[in-house]
Structure 1
Amino acid sequence: SIGGVGKTTIAKAVYNLIADQFESCIFLANVRERSKQKLGLVQLQEALLYEVLGRDNVKLGTTDRGINVIKSRLQNKRVLLVLDDVDQTEQLEALAGGPHWFGSGSRIIFTTRDDHLLVSHGVQYTYKVKELSYVDSLQLFSWHAFRNPCPQKGYKEFISFVLNYAKGLPLAL
């Protein structure tokens, strides 16, 4: 899926909808960007553990140590983990290596632009976000521009230009 189509927004909505069914809930945003930093994956692992354990003094040092600590501390917890904007297998391996890492009934949701990651990580269920239709784009644009689901008269050409330019991407609208 391309950027700006609404993957993060949908993931946040699902997270908020089902979070009360879990012992621990973690939403790690911007995994792609955060993992580019020095020790980025280690910092993401530490953030994950902080959210679950409530202690910020977890210092892991290496991703291998992080993997071991995550597995040992979370294997009996029913966890909801959302990894937003994943773009490399290494990120998944470091943060959510497999279902045995977490307790029974846990759910791992991740957003990605790369369908290959879904296959390589053995994902069971996928939801592909589609661009908005022209009618839905018009309605969204009109709500933001005019505070009304219908466009104001006199803006037809301009609105048509904007909607064609945005190509159904909510973020662009």
Structure 2
Amino acid sequence: MSYGGLVKLQSILLSEILGVKEVKVTNVDKGINVIKKMLNGKKLLLVLDDVNQLDQLNKLVGRSDWFGSGSRIVLTTRDKHLLIAHQVNLIYEVEKLDHYESLKLFASWNSFSRNGHLKDEYAKLANNVVDYADGLPLALMVLGSHLCGRSIDQWKYALDGYRRVPNREIQEILKISYNALEDAVKEVFLDIAFFYKGLGEDYVIQMLEG
């Protein structure tokens, strides 16, 4: 995110909390001073979603003494190291959905479901969709909305297309997760994807450790 983006976010943060139409912030450093001055002593519940740079945390929420006692700052990010670097008090790692949970979420986004369960003729294909999404909630919602209301033949055609050329929205979701990895982990990921796909886990671990 550019500094221009941070200035805009600082302005939105102040406007929403103070309940005014617009708080003009001319630069990032001034924005920090205004946040500390205007919000000091206020008890807040603040949520920052999809943080991907440490600078965003430093310039928007800074330290705990920027706000009043009892304030709670909730951050979501794919990069755990940002939270560690910012000395976040409590870190909760969200697990991927299991197969049953994935099916339930996918079905809830599909018009062929009844009380969270898909009709028999769609159930088998739904399992293939869930395997493809690999427990990622956003991917399941994208696929569910994309396949909603389509025929069996259209489902089969779409799934075949996903395997050959992944859906652009799914690609963007996976790309964000990949970009959050450290460089060394990215290299391992690419090695597995290109050279070790389909091989046994123990064999791959031995090769990578070597």
**Equivalent of 1:55, from 20, 39, 48?**
20
- Deviation, structure 1 residue 75: 1.0
Question: What is the 5 A alignment of 1:2-151?
Answer: 35-36=1-2, 39-145=4-110, 146-151=113-118
Give, as a single letter, the amino acid of the residue that structure 1 aligns with 2:36: K
- Deviation, structure 1 residue 51: 0.9
Q: Deviations over 1:80-109 (max 9, x none)?
A: 111111111110011000100000000111
**Equivalent of 2:125, from 158, 162, 168?**
158
Q: Which is richer in helix?
A: 2
- Cα distance between partner residues in 2 of 1:135 and 1:42: 43
Give, as a single letter, the amino acid of the residue that structure 2 aligns with 1:139: K
Give, as a single letter, the amino acid of the residue that structure 1 aligns with 2:88: V
- Cα distance between partner residues in 2 of 1:53 and 1:154: 54
Q: Which is richer in strand?
A: 1
Give, as a single letter, the amino acid of the residue that structure 2 aligns with 1:167: D
- Summarize the Cα distance change of 1:60–1:143 in structure 2 as closer, same or farther, 3 Å threshold: closer
Q: Secondary structure at the match of 1:171?
A: helix
- Cα distance between partner residues in 2 of 1:57 and 1:115: 33
Q: Secondary structure at the match of 2:117?
A: coil
Q: Secondary structure at the match of 2:139?
A: coil
Segments of 5+ residues of structure 1 without an aligned counterpart are 1-34
- Structure scoring higher RCO (CA < 8 A, sep ≥ 6) equals 1
Aligned length: 138
Partner of 1:29: none
Q: Which structure has the bigger radius of gyration?
A: 2
TM-score in terms of structure 2 length? 0.62
Q: Secondary structure at the match of 1:59?
A: coil
- Deviation, structure 1 residue 155: 2.7
Amino-acid identity (%): 50
